[in-house]
Structure 1
Amino acid sequence: MRYSFQDYISIKIHKTDLLLTNFIKTKLESYNIAPEQNLILMLLLENDGLTQQQLVIKLNKDKTNIARMAASLEKKGFIRRSESQNDRRSVTLHLTETGKALGDIILPISEEFNEQISNGLSKEELIELERLLTKISQNVQKSQ
């Protein structure tokens, strides 16, 4: 059976991802922060002092991307990077006071964003969506 372009689940997921990314990008633009940088800030708000390697794992990004985003966040004054005392190859990230203040602003934006995109979905539907996305991710990982 041949699928039309619009029938591919990967295309539907990609289009949805683009919509989500553009939506949150617009919300964060005035704060000089990109959506992916926002993810790092949110993780540090949750658990300050994560290493770059921990962010690589949590965000499923390569080391170079995380290092580049961390450097940008540091240049903007939102975080500071320091070498781990136990392992000089390991870099730990900490929020600055400016980063914490920004977190107080962007966390409600992120929460509102999450509420807007899940509007009309029941708790059961959200659980099912997470289950299905996890299954798709596992299928991709198995085929690599």
Structure 2
Amino acid sequence: MDDITAIYYKKLKHSSDALNTIFLEEYHGFANKEFLNLTTKQSILLELLNANSLTNNEISNHFSITPSAATQLVSKLEKKGFLKREINVNNRREIIVHLDEKGKEYNQIMANFELYIIQKYYSKLNENDLENLVDLQQKLYNIATEIQQKEKK
């Protein structure tokens, strides 16, 4: 690694951390206390279930965790009223996970929060800047996934 790359990384990390702090402060104004206590995996799972229901195995595969860990993840959210589980009528050994009322409320608040952030901050960037931001983020993501795949082999 060269010194220039390290300097840019540190600048990027500093600005990214500062921006995340601002967004987190904004989020605190939107979310109730119970939502603030969710882990990253729990939040991601709630967002995934916003699109459609998933089986325990699909959740396990998505997070690259064991089925037992997926069950624990679902159980914690189910106890808090965010999710509900049902037995698949077509395959009684399969459990289907759906959003419950708090999960739906969480996703609605997140949708409102995202719109707020877009209008307050991202709308100040022109289309070219937005396109560059997305392109660079995608490039970095592609590099990271490629390296991870090589390391797994």
Q: TM-score, normalised by structure 1?
A: 0.67
SS at match of 1:62: coil
- Contact 1:52–1:91 (8 Å) recurs in 2: yes
1:142 maps to which residue? 150
Structure 2 gaps, min length 5: none
1:2-21 → structure 2 map (5 Å cutoff)? 7=6, 20=20
CA apart distance, 1:8? 9.3
SS at match of 2:32: helix
Larger Cα Rg: Structure 1 or Structure 2?
2
Structure 1 residue ranges without an equivalent (≥5) = none
**Structure 1 match to 2:50:** 45
Secondary structure, aligned partner of 1:122: helix
Match of 1:27 in 2: 27
Cα distance in 1 between the residues matched to 2:54 and 2:113? 23
- Superposed CA RMSD in Å reads 3.8
Deviations 1:76-103 (A, max 9, x none): 1111012333151x32111123322332
Which residue type is aligned with residue 132 of structure 1?
A: L
8 Å CA contact 1:42–1:107 kept in 2: the answer is: no
Aligned counterparts of 1:45 and 1:75: Cα–Cα separation in 2: 18
Q: Following superposition of structure 1 onto structure 2, how do residues 1-144 of structure 1 map, counting pairs within 5 Å?
A: 7=6, 20=20, 24=24, 27=27, 30-33=32-35, 34=38, 35-47=40-52, 49-58=53-62, 60-63=63-66, 64-85=68-89, 86=91, 88=93, 90-112=94-116, 116=121, 120=125, 121-144=129-152
1:110 shift after superposition: 4.1
User: 1:123 is aligned with what amino acid?
Assistant: E
Q: Which structure carries more strand by proportion?
A: 2
Q: Give secondary structure in 2 for the equivalent of 1:93.
A: strand
